[in-house]
Structure 1
Amino acid sequence: MDRKKPYIAVILIQSIYAGMFLLSKAAFDVGMNTFVFVFYRQAAATVFLAPLAMFFEWKNAPPLSFVTFCKIFMLSLCGITLSLNFYGIGLIYTSASLAAAATNCLPVITFFFSVLFRMEVLRLRTIPGITKVAGIAICMAGAATIALYRGPYMKLLPHHHLLGHHNSQEHQVHVSHGTKWIKGCLLMLISNIFWGLWLVLQARVMKSYPAKLLFTTLQCFLSSIQSFVIAIALERNPYEWKLGWNVRLLAVAYCGIVVTGVTYYLQAWVIEKKGPVFLAMSTPLALVFTIFSSAFLLGETISLGNVLGGILLVGGLYSVLWGKSKEQKMDDGICLTADQKESSESEQEIATKIPPSLPV
């Protein structure tokens, strides 16, 4: 069961992200400012996590040096504040499904940064290494299929938006082929570059500050301050800062408490156990969940391209995971052989030092 926990965790993480895509898009469609939204979700996450961090980890927390604090500040700025703000603007120009599809370049970005920082080894002369590269290529092909190929449409439910916001298929097709869609994809790409860099560098910073809950809380707190500075500089209208009992409050509470509060902690745990590439390679699941959730909850139609792209994404995901598991077994076998050899040499040295016993 311990071996299955990381897999269960990434499935839960991507399910939560699918809900984030849907609720965020719904909030932006009714006119919520993206910069204000990012501030509120980070503030909600900080309020939710701070008491838990104080109760569970404050007494046993390692000392926080100034250098480590600066690293966490930059992590929060790049990986959370800038990434979420670029993501929010990009989501306005696209749709929930397209936003989820854009995140599938994250595995390639994360893998590139991991190789660049020598955290991941690319062995092109081995079958597992070739399988990992092929899996990434399949994931990219799946994302491209969903973004570029439509095909026949399959309507699962009557076309009705759960939150009462009309979003017709014709409007989606029009936006996806316009200049707004191109801008949205570019902003999503920039957001994922920051996100991938955050995933990789987070693993290094956690080595000097392993208290995951405090680490996550501190990132949320710093990101709240950074997001507030950006939001107050770009949005001065008091009406845009008001939250009522509507989809805006629901999206802020969900993204702040569930996504930022719970998911960031789970991500830190998965990165510690399996590494950043393992987490990044689970992102295609969020797209699959988003497509079918949009169909059942928002009444959107599913195209043949979405189905084929989803199949390719899942196939590429398991291809990479298979390659990583085989490489892990190979590394474990090499380490075991080296330990056995070292143990055998030690026994031989001890045997040569012990004098033969005298006959009685």
Structure 2
Amino acid sequence: MAQKAGSYSDIYRKFKPHLLMVLAQVGYTFLYIITEACFNHGMNPHVHITYRHIVAGIVMFPFAYFLERKTRPKLTFALFLEIFVLSILGVSLTLNMYFASMRYTSTTFVAAVVNSIASLTFIIAVVLRLEVVNLRNPRGIAKVLGTIVSLVGVTIMTLYKGPDIKNLWHPLVYIQGKSSIHDENWLKGSILTVASCVTWSIRYIMQAFTLKRYPAPLSLTTWMSFVGAAQSAAFTVIVEHKPAAWTIGFNIDFWATVYAGVVCSGIIIFFQLWCTEEKGPVFVTMFNPLSTVMVAVLSYFVLGEKLYTGSILGGVIGIVGLYLLLWGKDRDQEAPIGREKQSYLANDQKMTLKAHKTLSAEREESQCEP
């Protein structure tokens, strides 16, 4: 019984990062839906981003303070500047572009384009020499080919909208204020979405470096929330001159802000930081297609949102490219493990042979003694 319990524990530890990333994508799926309802209700996206990160910082602060009190390194000025830049990439700049793009496109489109983050992260990692590409190896070819295919899918979604697929029945849930999307707005929203994915990819690379110098994911999440909220507030004051925009009632705006702050900007960001530390930045991005599928199903069958052939075609191509890249990355991660095992076995054989020689020499000496 104890052995069986131990095997379950080993399985849980092995697949814990996978489980956390699946839960993160489920959380993001509901974020897309509730945020779209919030924006169509009239809430300003920039105000929403500011409030949600204030909520996230308040919720995460006590956990960060008490749980990482002994392990949290000292925050230097240079490290604070690094967190400041990381907050721009991970909060204020990225999310303001990202959620603004939802006004001009659709939740299905935005969720699908997010799949390009893995390819963009890989390209940046290669440029910075964090990833090695060997075109003589099938793994290297798969990574390059997957990156190209994934970016082709994103290009199709961005430049080709295509005819819409009409719904077979009325939506089960009606989102108030949803209006038709014009082609010029679609292109504008597409550019904003792709730009946010680029900065998002840079953030994944940078946070991997930051975690090495500041190995306290709860504290880092808290700092990013408060600093990102301050940055977003400053930006919102510049672009939004109506004081009434900062007022929210006890309605969908309030619940969307609380959910986004607690779940998405707090818990999920902590999950991602932990998994980045354990598995690396590319692993974190490999689960994005899960939310793409769930968002498409909910949007079409439940909310009655139109699906466009360009989004479906580009999304399928992008997912194929993503998993080509991840197959190459997965094989690439197995290779060092295999080499480590071979090295361990070789060293073990050398040690065993050395022990046998020593034992033989001792026996010979004992036989020669009178």
> What TM-score does the superposition give when structure 2 sets the normalisation length?
0.85
| Contact 2:165 2:309 survives alignment (8 Å) | yes
Q: 1:303 to 1:190 in 2, by over 3 A?
A: closer
Q: Which amino acid aligns with 1:96?
A: T
Whole-angstrom distance in 2 between the partners of 1:52 and 1:265: 11
CA contact 1:90–1:188 (8 Å) conserved in 2: yes
Closer, same or farther in 2 for the Cα pair 1:141/1:7, shift >3 Å? Answer: farther
Query: Structure 2 CA distance, aligned partners of 1:12 and 1:316?
Result: 23
Higher mean alpha-carbon deviation, 117-126 vs 262-271, is at 117-126
| CA deviation string 1:138-194 (max 9, x = no partner) | 433444555525456252541465343344xxx23xx2x22x222222222221111
- SS of residue matched to 2:48: helix
In structure 1, what is the Cα distance between the partners aligned to 2:122 and 2:16? 22
> 1:218 is matched with which residue: 223, 229, 233?
223
What is the TM-score normalised by the length of structure 1?
Answer: 0.87
1:358 equivalenced with 2:357 (yes/no)? no
Q: Deviations over 1:251-293 (max 9, x none)?
A: 2112111111111011111211221112223323322221111
Across the aligned residues of Structure 1 and Structure 2, the Cα RMSD in angstroms comes to 2.6
Matched, 1:290 2:295: yes
* Alignment size in residue pairs: 353
Identity of aligned residues (%): 31
1:144, 1:156 → 2: CA distance? 29
Question: C-alpha separation between the residues in 2 aligned to 1:237 and 1:311?
Answer: 42
Q: Runs of 5+ in structure 1 lacking a partner?
A: none
Alignment of 1:268-347 (within 5 A): 268-303=273-308, 306-342=311-347, 344=349
CA offset at residue 44 of structure 1?
0.9
Query: Please, which of 170, 180, 183 is the counterpart of residue 158 of structure 1?
Result: 170
CA–CA distance in structure 1, aligned partners of residues 297 and 71 of structure 2? 43
Does structure 2 conserve the Cα–Cα contact (< 8 Å) formed by 1:282 and 1:317?
A: no
Letter matched to residue 196 of structure 2: S
2:102 pairs with 1:91? yes
SS at 2:114's partner residue? helix
Contact 1:285 1:314 (8 Å CA) reproduced: no
- Going from structure 1 to structure 2, the CA distance change for 1:33 and 1:301 (only over 3 Å counts) comes to closer
Note closer, same or farther for the CA distance 1:211–1:113 as it changes in structure 2 (3 Å cut): same
Moved more, 183-192 or 296-305: 296-305
Equivalent pair of 1:160/1:166 in contact (CA under 8 Å) = no
- Pick one of 32, 37, 57 that aligns with 2:48: 37
Gap change, CA 1:186 and 1:149, over 3 Å in 2:
closer
Q: Distance in 2 between matches of 1:152 and 1:294?
A: 13
Alpha-carbon distance in structure 1 between the residues aligned to 2:241 and 2:313: 45
Distance 1:80 1:240 in 2: 20
Q: Deviations over 1:82-108 (max 9, x none)?
A: 111111222222221222233232122
What residue ranges of structure 2 are gaps of 5+ in the alignment?
A: 1-10
Task: Indicate yes or no: 2:108 matched with 1:103.
Answer: no
> Structure 1 residue 71 and structure 2 residue 82: aligned?
yes
CA contact (8 A) 1:114 1:277 kept: no
